[in-house]
Structure 1
Amino acid sequence: MTTQHPFSLAGKTGIVTGLANADSIAFGCARALHEAGAEMIATYGHAKAERHVTPLLEAMGHPELMLCDVQDEAQVEAVFQRAQERWGRLDFLIHSMAFANRDDLHGRVVDCSREGFAQAMDISCHSFLRLAQRAEPLMTAGGCLITLSYYGAEKVVPNYGLMGPVKAALEASVRYMADELGPAGIRVQAISPGPIRTRAASGIRDFEALAEDAEQRAPLRRLVSTEDVGRTAVFLISEAGQSLTGGTTYVDAGHHVKA
């Protein structure tokens, strides 16, 4: 009798949001999920990203590609309607997006605008709740919801600014969602990668200094890759991760343990 490998995602279906280009964490996750056997719908948030995302389809196993700006309720609804039509269920969802207005991000947290704070919280945190709400009815046999955080949610990281409080709210949301959705067999996780040289990271002032510090001080003396994050997502979604929920998994070469 052949037993399926505990890390296999064969037969699993889901949604990966936030594709931007070959350096994006969402792409690292989608590629790893495909290699583990999953099928998916992949979304990108802006029309201008399509030309960067289309060349990546083969590496992701040719997933269905859809535009989904999380501030556009019609686009969000269309993604989940398509998942309902295609599979009638979902096993996983990956929320890989964050945004803050540059002026608010580069200034002091205490000086951020009301509008900028609300926008950063809506796109980077509340959108995860909205996606989870739509995913829940489709996760009839349980499932796994994953979002992406950063160490700046826990400690003050120079120049991370406004995203620190936003990511802290995101991690708290993971804990509450895990408690609320757990009885239905739905697990909720945050992955907290170390610095990765992505286009999104380039918006953080002096990001290169942050990356160099991580590379020099992390116990493994290296940065992590989007592939590292993707493999962790595979583990959390797979049967091997079935007893894990509500936590933050650090994928940062151990950097978070250093003072």
Structure 2
Amino acid sequence: MLDKDYFSLEGKKGMVLGIANEHSIAYGCARACRALGAELAITYLNDKARPFVEPCAKAVDAELFLPCDVTKPGELEALFDAIRARWGRLDFAIHSIAFAPREDLHGRLVDSSAAGFGLAVDVSAHSFLRMARLAEPLMTDGGSLFAMTFQGAERVVKTYNLMGPVKAALEAAVRYVAAELGPKEIRAFAVSPGPLPTRAASGLKDFDELVEEARTKSLLGRLATPDDVGALVALLATRTGAMLTGQTIYVDGGYHIKG
């Protein structure tokens, strides 16, 4: 028999990586998880980003608010050390970061530099694996891991360029993490919204055209919002999602099924 605990995160501890400001997908996830009762650790990229993220952390009563730049050796590890010291465990972790050098992102994929491609994969995909490795020993009663992706991972999307194969690598990483950590009841998901007008997405070439195409193709006639994404992530982190893992889950109003 179902009870309210199936739809609750009361007493659960979660980490959110990637809030840039109040419009971030990661912030939508943090709000939704907090609304279901979760206690949160929130990160900010650096001192320049902190003033934009700190109000978000305060709004969700974050118990931990720490810097984390995954390109800086030791910062991700320091974050998990702080989580271990404060809570001794972790129930869910949300990865919502991506980066590619502008010159590589705006050019043809075949012209991308090895350094730019490598950096994009490191920040956007491999850091998810690092997060999973650090989260694993803290998820002693199981848990859930989330990564943000986009349909450009599986079909050619105009102007998505370099990030297409990078997100494809991320989605494959999610599937393999789900397989490797499943015996410990640690689940993994790739969440795929359509294009959202966030700070990170604004770096894509001709992004406005991509947004308008998604709006036109959405079966529901609108784009997803960070709160739409957050609601799904929060639900999957509860007992309701206990038998789901390894999937790429779309939150795009049906955009992805139209050619």
TM-score (norm 1): 0.97
Cα distance in structure 2, aligned partners of 1:89 and 1:64: 13
Map 1:93-172 to 2 at 5 A: 93-172=93-172
Cα distance in structure 1, aligned partners of 2:163 and 2:113: 13
- What 5-or-longer segments of structure 1 have no aligned partner? none
Give the letter aligned to residue 206 of structure 1.
D
Cα distance in structure 1, aligned partners of 2:245 and 2:59: 29
- What 5-or-longer segments of structure 2 have no aligned partner? none
Q: Point out the more displaced range, 205-214 or 46-55.
A: 46-55
Q: How far apart are residue 159 of structure 1 and its match?
A: 0.3
Seen in structure 2, the aligned counterparts of structure 1 residues 63 and 25 have a Cα distance that, compared at 3 Å, is: farther
Q: How far apart are residue 3 of structure 1 and its match?
A: 3.9
Q: Point out the more displaced range, 42-51 or 168-177.
A: 42-51
Cα distance in structure 2, aligned partners of 1:133 and 1:146: 13
Deviation per CA, 1:54-103: give whole Å up to 9, x if none: 12233212342110001123211111111111111110000000000000
- Structure 1 residue ranges, 4+ long, deviating more than 3 angstroms after superposition: 2-5
Deviation per CA, 1:155-185: give whole Å up to 9, x if none: 0000000000000000001111111000011
Cα distance in structure 2, aligned partners of 1:234 and 1:203: 27
Q: How far apart are residue 251 of structure 1 and its match?
A: 0.4
Deviation per CA, 1:215-248: give whole Å up to 9, x if none: 1111001001000010010111110000000000
Cα distance in structure 2, aligned partners of 1:148 and 1:208: 20
Cα distance in structure 2, aligned partners of 1:62 and 1:249: 27
Deviation per CA, 1:107-164: give whole Å up to 9, x if none: 0000000000000000000000001100000000000000000000010000000000
| 2:53 equivalent to 1:53 | yes
| 2:182 equivalent to 1:178 | no
Which residue of structure 2 aligns with residue 234 of structure 1? 234
Cα distance in structure 2, aligned partners of 1:239 and 1:62: 22
Q: What SS does structure 2 have at the residue aligned with 1:61?
A: coil
Cα distance in structure 1, aligned partners of 2:184 and 2:5: 24
8 Å Cα contact 2:222/2:253 also seen in 1: yes
8 Å Cα contact 2:42/2:62 also seen in 1: no
8 Å Cα contact 1:31/1:61 also seen in 2: no
Give the letter aligned to residue 122 of structure 2.
D
Q: How far apart are residue 19 of structure 1 and its match?
A: 1.1
8 Å Cα contact 1:178/1:188 also seen in 2: yes
Q: How far apart are residue 5 of structure 1 and its match?
A: 3.4
Q: What SS does structure 1 have at the residue aligned with 2:6?
A: coil
Which residue of structure 2 aligns with residue 197 of structure 1? 197
Cα distance in structure 1, aligned partners of 2:93 and 2:248: 16
Give the letter aligned to residue 125 of structure 1.
A
Cα distance in structure 1, aligned partners of 2:153 and 2:57: 32
| 2:46 equivalent to 1:43 | no
Which residue of structure 1 aligns with residue 87 of structure 2? 87
Cα distance in structure 1, aligned partners of 2:57 and 2:87: 20
| 2:75 equivalent to 1:75 | yes
Cα distance in structure 1, aligned partners of 2:63 and 2:226: 18
8 Å Cα contact 2:41/2:62 also seen in 1: no
TM-score (norm 2): 0.97
Cα distance in structure 2, aligned partners of 1:247 and 1:84: 28
Cα distance in structure 2, aligned partners of 1:148 and 1:57: 20
Q: What SS does structure 2 have at the residue aligned with 1:31?
A: helix
